[in-house]
Structure 1
Amino acid sequence: MAAAEPLVFPLGHAMGPFHQQRDAPPAYWVVRLGWDSPLLPDRATADVWALAHGHPETAGRTPWTRTELCRAASAAGVSDPDAVLGGLLERGLVAEVTPGTDDAATFAGTHRVQSLLLGLGELPDRPGVDGIGLLGMPALAQVPLGTYEFWQWGHLWPTLTEAAAGLAEMAAQAPEHAPEEADPVQVLDRVLHELHRLLSVHAVYLDRSLAVADAQR
């Protein structure tokens, strides 16, 4: 059986474009990552980095891989998305991660999640589904309880590894829980597979752990 293609994850929080003059096109785009503010030097790079977040309509159903990202980037007019993606990978602004591997464990131990937007609670017309978004507007993300709890609590831990362990410990305290809900390894695997449902609507962003950020400062 062929190995699964790695998932593609963007790293950092978008700070927006920088215009050197009023009404001029952006000179570059800024990303906040750890203690750094790396720049995306052109539209193609900014577009591919943005597309690494996934697409809301397919997130959770279609794994967001290099193949899917490059297909979407080509459709958006990027002439050589694979080369652009390669440059972002080299700079550490995008990561390729295969859940369940040693590399995934290393990634999870050196990165953290930061939550954005607001929790809207269980949707009245969809029992068991929780919304994330902005007050007074339709939910941008509609997710199962496990994903909602990751969004709600995951940022309190310094790494994704510790977040998965903490969520597993919380689940184990419930009188009725599935075995996989209390297994940190399986929780991390689920988190990685679900991340694009949150990334694609900017409900979270991925950052370096503070320990890594401090070491690179």
Structure 2
Amino acid sequence: MLPVGHFAGPMFIAPDAVEPESYEVRYEDGVFSLSAAEYAVWALAHGDPDRVGSHRPTRQALTAEAEATGVTEPAVTIDALISDGLLALIEDEPAARRAFAERHQLMPLALGLGNQPSQLGVFQIGMPNTPRVSVGYDIYHMWLFCHRERTLWAAVQEIAGEAQEANDAAPAGDVELIADVDDLLAGLIEALPILLSTSCGFLDPRRPSPTSAPADDAAGSGDDGRGEDPAEDHEHGGDALVAQP
């Protein structure tokens, strides 16, 4: 279970307001205005950076955490967020991973901090002097370049092809890059929870095809009926909040 969209902050509409009117999540070319309960669940789906490596982000875990936070009927909220595309549930098998990658894109946040002489195969992502996460070369490379393609699947295919070309040209005995597209995708999806929880990246729906009108594209766009506020029909709640992911 992974969150989709880019957090844009709380929205206050009155100078004397005590609580925000909504919590904004940029999604494609529009914005969802979430209630406090919806935002709490969506934010919790990012996971705790200190625990996400050992606690996989499942629906069951998200439901339990939302209940503990004070969200009423979290299962209903989770279903609504899935329906809106703000949560994505991925089954652990190749076809499901491919389907997810064909519908989404990974956008990088933070800075690439490179590696160190003592750990040539470890690359850090974060802010200057404040690394947030350490990953291997393959994940680092995909994090850097996946956003250049329309879909995550197209990006991983391109990177797999480049890796195979590099392996073919490398001298015998050199360390080979991972060139199997399914292995690369599985590794990236395994790393997504830590990348999202540390705000080193965010998921977005795939970009519309340049050869078709945005409204005709399966991924949708700002012209798909959402307009500036694709969640304008949502009720605004007052449940307990969680920290910004």
Instruction: State whether TM-score is above 0.5.
Output: yes
* C-alpha distance in structure 2 between counterparts of 1:50 and 1:198, whole Å: 14
TM-score normalised per structure 2:
0.77
The 8 Å contact of residues 99 and 193 in structure 1, kept in 2 or not, is answered as no
Which of residues 177, 184, 193 is equivalent to 1:196? Answer: 193
* C-alpha distance in structure 1 between counterparts of 2:94 and 2:27, whole Å: 24
Distance 1:60 1:158, change over 3 A: farther
Which of residues 32, 39, 42 is equivalent to 2:33? Answer: 39
1:132 partnered with 2:125:
yes
* C-alpha distance in structure 2 between counterparts of 1:210 and 1:92, whole Å: 14
1:152 partnered with 2:144:
yes
Hey, what does 1:164 align to over in structure 2?
156
Hey, what does 2:86 align to over in structure 1?
93
How far does residue 199 in structure 1 lie from its aligned partner after superposition?
A: 0.5
1:20 partnered with 2:17:
no
* C-alpha distance in structure 1 between counterparts of 2:116 and 2:46, whole Å: 24
* C-alpha distance in structure 2 between counterparts of 1:119 and 1:177, whole Å: 22
1:102 partnered with 2:95:
yes
User: Gaps spanning 5+ residues in structure 1: where?
Assistant: 1-7
1:116 partnered with 2:113:
no
Which of residues 189, 206, 211 is equivalent to 2:208? Answer: 211
Identity of aligned residues (%): 31
* C-alpha distance in structure 1 between counterparts of 2:51 and 2:158, whole Å: 28
User: Gaps spanning 5+ residues in structure 2: where?
Assistant: 224-245
How far does residue 200 in structure 1 lie from its aligned partner after superposition?
A: 0.5
How far does residue 186 in structure 1 lie from its aligned partner after superposition?
A: 1.5
How far does residue 78 in structure 1 lie from its aligned partner after superposition?
A: 2.2
Regions of 4+ moved over 6 Å: none
Higher RCO (C-alpha 8 Å, min separation 6): 2
| RMSD (Å) for aligned C-alpha atoms | 2.1
How many residue pairs match? The answer is: 207
Larger Rg: 2
